Structures are given as structure tokens and as C-alpha cells.
Copies of this chain bind each other. A is one copy, B any other.
């Protein structure tokens, strides 16, 4: 890049000093160099428009100042906030993100190889909450590569991982509905089972378990007819409502396992002239920016996903700089309840 690269050598010559002196100045070695020499060198740097070659530096320091970010799919709603969070702390610490997408397990192994040959200092895995072979991660661990995993279906404690409290979210959403006085609460579930094109998600299973748990704890009925799969998609949520309406009398409220399905559901409900929250109250999980602008606005549990990104980045940097995380217990982040209108306000008391 650029016609003829100016090197540290040129600077040294131009300033009439040795090459290492320039290096000292460039690396901010305060005590080593006299003020006058430093000035001369800085002047030469400016004059020649010298730009240090980070690659050459990496070569000798055996650190690149880059971190790989492996993402299962860019179009996932979690991608932006995660990346945002990661970028926030990484950039302030002077690290760069090298992006890699890995939609399948093989692609992931591949991505890891590629990033490692790029000599990244560490890796952050941001997954959908699907299960994938742990072997590539074990390998990384064996070779002492710093890495942290966000939101993957793994054995707890196995690696340094950050989890979201999906079960708690399902429970909280449901309990919020219960606390408002609803006593018949159905659910639209995410991808809990295999189906062509869909890998089951830990989050879906967990959120569902949370729903179940909340109901049993309060002694409320768990009615099979009120459990409808929505496959975590807009269309799935839309169809789930129609299916539900076909099946039986509607419950009074619905815990919908993610926001996309909730959006789809809202449209179906409008078509069926079922009023929300009057006829059917809704609570969901996931808080995209537009959740406050649906009709009606969605009561939901916001995922602490940006925070997860920041946390992952912080842990990773410390690790890279020599402080591996002490405990491997998974860090579980709580969700945050946003009460809006879709749940209704009809408190019992």
C-alpha cells in the first residue's frame, strides 16, 4: 500500500540516529531517550509520514493485537448487539476484530484454522444457542489459545462461557403474566426439536422449561393444546396463532418465546380480530428496537446481549494479557423485564 513504504530505517537515517532509538521513541520508552533526540525523531516521523508496520511488529512480538469473532449467522438478531459490545471494549484496548462467519460445524473448524493462521491473539464465539461438537474447542484449550464462548449449548464449566438465563427469562415472562391475574397461559415455542433446516436450540428448550416451571409452581394448568411451535420465525408465530385459534378455546395469555414470533403473532391476531391485551395478553422474550412500536407495544424480557459482548471481550483481553479466567463456571446473565402494553395492566389487587 502506498508507493514506496517508508520504514523505521528511513526515519533513523533521516533523523541521524540509530534504528533502535527510533523504536524506543515509537514505543513510548520515556526514560531511554533524551528529549532532543526524541524531538528530532518525531520530526522525522512527521516529515516522512512514517506509519509503523503493525505486521512486522506482530512478527517479532508474536502478538497481533487482533481478536477473531466467529459468528454463526450475521442475520441473527444477536449479531449486532454482540458485535457492538465486543467492539466497544476491544477498540478502546487497541485490539482489532477479525470477522468470520461459520454457519456449520465444519465451517467453524475451518474458521478457527484460518483465524489461527492469521495469528489472532484470541477468539470469541458467538453462537445461536445450538449444540455443536466441542472437539475444536477442546483443541483450542489444549493449545492454550484464549477464547470465550457466548450463548452456546455446551456442558457448563467446560470452557470459559457466557450464558443467557433463558430458563429464568421464560419463567419471569410467565410469572409476570400470572402476577397480572391471568390463570390460563399458553405458549408459542421456539425450535425445540429437529426439523429439516432447523437445529434445536437450547434457548427454546430452556425458555419453555421456564414457562412450565412458572405454571407448575403456581399450580396452574399446563394444557397441551396451548403449546404451539413457532420455530422462532415471524411466519411461524403467525401460523401458530391460527393453529391455536383452530384448536380450542384460547388461553387468556401467551408467553411467546421470541420477539420475531411475537410480531408474527400480532399480525395474525389482528386478522382474527383478537384484541391484545384485552382478549389475549402477550409477553415475549427479546427486545429489538421496534418492540416499543408494535401495536400494542410488547412487554418483553430484554437479552443482556450487548453486555455479554462487552464481558466476553474484557475476559478475553485479560486472558490474552496473561490472566486466564479463574473460574470456569459459566457466567449467566439475567434478562431485563420491560413492561409495555401487550401484557395488559389488569392487576388483581
Contact = CB atoms under 8 A, between A and B. Distances in A.
Contact of A119 (B55, B84, B120): B55
Contacts of A270: 295
Contacts of A289: 75, 234, 260
A61 B161 CA distance: 38
A166 interface: no
Interface stretch (A30-38, A96-104, A326-334): A96-104
Contacts of A263: 290, 293-294
Interface in A34-62: 51-56, 58-59
B292 A234 contact: yes
A117 interface: yes
Q: How many copies, total?
A: 2
A84 B58 CA distance: 29
A196 interface: no
Interface in A73-127: 74-75, 79-80, 83-84, 87, 91, 96-101, 113-114, 116-121
Contact of A84 (B66, B74, B83, B297): B74
Nearest to A117: B54
A266 interface: yes
B293 A144 contact: no
